[in-house]
A and B are shown apart, each in its own frame.
Chain A
Amino acid sequence: EFSQDQLTLLNYILDAYNKHRIPQDMAKQLLQEKFSEEENFLLLTEMATSHVQVLVEFTKNIPGFQALDHEDQIALLKGSAVEAMFLRSAQVFTRKRPHGHTDVLEDRIRKSGISEEYITPMFNFYKSIGELQMMQEEHALLTAITILSPDRAYVRDQAAVERLQEAVLEVLRKFCRLRHPREPQHFARLLGRLTELRTLNHHHAEMLLSWRTS
């Protein structure tokens, strides 16, 4: 069972995850009919910026994060922003959406000047996330775990970050055992997505470069 502290940690992270979202009007813009490569580019850039702000607001609510060294907080956020963005956008693509919406989103991304080489791994990742049928708690906890990665560049006090990540990992492990009793591999499969995210992170840097030049 969860200890009282673990329950508090879970609810704290879940509330923050539900509270801090991309503004509704911006999300709606994505579904408009207007399509031009420039508009898609601008909209996706604006979405990415808004997502970083939402990510920071979420992260500030992770118990213990604001007690970390200030520069380490920045190193963690900078190192995880792209992965957290892919994880969150995966949720958009896997949640039961009115049929048309996901195609509009996918079409918009495919027609925004991003080369196919980067789009395919992105949608493969969304598919593999979809197969896990993750609950909201799992998305929130996995996002926190991604951010609290002690091995990000420029992090100095790795032990302090590891202690925080360990606490969240333990909550996720218990949550999976409680809510997926017939799937002993579920927790391991969730963590497997984190390694997939790291390759997307690498792709993303190259993609931005090629996107800017084109």
Chain B
Amino acid sequence: PASNLGLEDIIRKALMGNFED
């Protein structure tokens, strides 16, 4: 789940696309 990702990973993923999709 997303909560295992590091802060930067979550930011990079969310910046690229819409994270909710």
Q: Do A and B come from the same complex?
A: yes
Residues of B within 8 A of A42 (CB): 3
- B12 engages A74 (CB within 8 Å): yes
Other than the given A52-B11, A57-B19, A74-B8, 4 more pairs (CB < 8 A) read A49-B2, A49-B5, A52-B7, A57-B14
Residues of B within 8 A of A56 (CB): 10-11, 14-15, 19
- Answer yes or no: A143 CB below 8 A from chain B CBs: no
Q: Report how far A57 CA is from B7 CA in the complex, Å.
A: 15
Q: How far is the CB of A84 from chain B (nearest CB, A)?
A: 12
- A53 engages B8 (CB within 8 Å): no
Q: How many A-B Cβ pairs are below 8 Å?
A: 41
25 inter-chain pairs at a CB distance below 8 angstroms, sorted by A residue, are A45-B3, A46-B1, A46-B3, A48-B3, A49-B2, A49-B3, A49-B5, A49-B10, A50-B2, A52-B10, A52-B14, A53-B10, A53-B14, A53-B19, A56-B10, A56-B14, A57-B14, A57-B18, A74-B8, A74-B11, A74-B12, A74-B15, A77-B11, A78-B7, A78-B11
Q: How far is the CB of A71 from chain B (nearest CB, A)?
A: 10
Report B's interface with A, CB cutoff 8 A: 1-3, 5, 7-8, 10-12, 14-15, 18-20
Q: Report how far A57 CA is from B5 CA in the complex, Å.
A: 17
Interface of A is mostly: helix
- B15 engages A53 (CB within 8 Å): no
Q: Report how far A165 CA is from B7 CA in the complex, Å.
A: 23
Convert A38-77 into 0s and 1s, putting 1 for each residue whose CB lies closer than 8 angstroms to a CB of B: 0000100110111011001100100000000010011001
- B3 engages A81 (CB within 8 Å): no
Write the chain B residue with the least CB distance to A60: B15
Q: How far is the CB of B9 from chain A (nearest CB, A)?
A: 10
Q: Report how far A81 CA is from B7 CA in the complex, Å.
A: 9
- B3 engages A53 (CB within 8 Å): no
Residues of A within 8 A of B14 (CB): 52-53, 56-57
